[in-house]
Amino acid sequence: MMGLTNLNATHLSSTKITAAQDAIAALESALAEITINLSPEDRKRYGSINEQNKLFVNKVHDYNQSQPNLSSPEVDWNEFNKDHSSRNSMETLISRLESIITRLNNAKTLHDFDNYQSALVDYSYATYKAGTASPGFEDKYKDLKQFFVKNSTSTAPPEEKK
């Protein structure tokens, strides 16, 4: 079972952070030619096809692949197949990126928790030291206590009595 602090003591080196930033820049560059900004009106107009319509498109694709003689001559099937392939590739990329984003958010959440717990310990220490009239701690305590405004939903640590 994990303790209450240091839930994530794994930290990326500056080299790995730079490598990740470079990889993101390379990905942005590789995808630049297909990056399209849709206006809210365009997004509403074109939207994302729902699951039922995706099944329909896939079924039409399957028929075109297995029985092309049944396909409409009015459809540019080369373009249809390129669109279908591109869509599948993008779906895979999106899924992988979403997985990375989830893992990054999870790691960040644990780092945030660790920081907050350590900050609470430091606040308690400043509160204690301010009560002993140690130089500088009264100002630090006053500066930090603003984050613990008392209200009915506060999760702030209780103030120590002096």
- Whole-model pTM: value is 0.74
Select from 87, 139, 103, 84 the least CA-distant residue to 8: 103
Question: Whole-angstrom Cα distance, residue 125 to residue 139?
Answer: 13
Look at the alpha carbons of 126, 130, 133, 137 in this order and tell me if their dihedral is positive or negative: positive
Provide the residue-wise pLDDT of the chain in tens; the chain has 162 residues: 444 667 888 899 999 999 999 999 999 999 999 988 889 889 888 877 888 999 999 999 999 999 999 999 999 999 999 999 999 999 999 999 999 999 999 999 999 999 999 999 999 999 999 999 999 999 999 999 999 988 755 555 655 554
Indicate the domain borders of the chain: 50-145
Question: Whole-angstrom Cα distance, residue 128 to residue 161?
Answer: 9
Question: Whole-angstrom Cα distance, residue 77 to residue 60?
Answer: 11
